[in-house]
Structure 1
């Protein structure tokens, strides 16, 4: 009997998404590029070792990338809102 292992979607790992977004917000240029490429390579390797097909791995990394971008946008919006005076002008 064989069983299919269905991993928890990486883009739903809120801690990993938020931590990655925070690091990218602090780094710029080449440092940010190196960090992002290393993160994606490690993620690819982890999923490959777990036995996932190339297409499935690429789909997971794309979803993770989208989640990180959304988190960065959410954090930027929250920061703007926190700095906006509330109340009547």
Structure 2
């Protein structure tokens, strides 16, 4: 008797270390360097998911979710930095 199993990939946008490290790297880069870094990161992620057997549509969905997670992390970090610079309770 042959049995089969389906492997379900843990969502990339939930891999907080990867999301945060990518966001920090993007915050340190500007202009063309940031664009090149982002494109390279997405190409590597695409290749990794393709090797793991994901279909193209699923990969695109994962990359879109990862993109949103990275940008939300950058917004969260910027807000936290702003709050740290501004005293609380001052009118």
1:42 is the counterpart of 2:44: yes
Q: Give, in whole Å, the separation in 2 of the partners of 1:38 and 1:72.
A: 18
Displacement of 1:88: 3.8
Aligned residue pairs: how many?
Answer: 89
Q: Which runs of 5+ in 2 are unaligned?
A: none
Moved segments of 4+, more than 6 Å: none
Displacement of 1:58: 0.2
Q: In angstroms, what is the RMSD of aligned CA positions? A: 0.8
* TM score, norm. by length of structure 2: 0.94
Q: Which runs of 5+ in 1 are unaligned?
A: none
* TM score, norm. by length of structure 1: 0.96
Q: Give, in whole Å, the separation in 1 of the partners of 2:27 and 2:90.
A: 32
